[in-house]
Amino acid sequence: MKELKYTITDPEGIHARPAGLLVNKAKEFASDIKIGKDGKMVDAKRIFGVMGLGVKTGMEITMSAEGADEDAAIAALDAFLKAEL
């Protein structure tokens, strides 16, 4: 399992548009991908789970990937987070 931590810098946090983009990025990989905040982890491939976390600016999230392509998934998600959030 690979994991990364990231502090959200987007002024609006993870709102509908970036949440949808994040879900689409996670769906590109076969690995089980989770996103979490404050110890609560949800499936990063499900929009309602991601939105339900209520992530705001300055909050730290954790993303994890477990599976055959976990290295590629974490690298792509890290690049996505830096570019979009």
pLDDT digits (tens, 9 = 90+) for 26-63: 999 999 999 999 989 999 999 999 999 999 999 999 99
Is 15 part of the annotated catalytic residue set? yes
CB contact set of 24 (below 8 Å; sequence gap of 6+): none
pTM listed for this prediction: 0.91
Give the three-state DSSP class for 13: coil
Catalytic residue among 4, 6, 10, 15: 15
- Are residues 76 and 21 in contact, defined by beta-carbon separation less than 8 angstroms? no
Q: Print the domain residue range for 17.
A: 2-84
- The pLDDT assigned to 41 comes to 96
Reported as a single tens digit per residue, the pLDDT across 55-77 is 999 999 999 999 999 999 999 99
Domains contained in the chain, number = 1
Q: Residue 12: which CATH number?
A: 3.30.1340.10
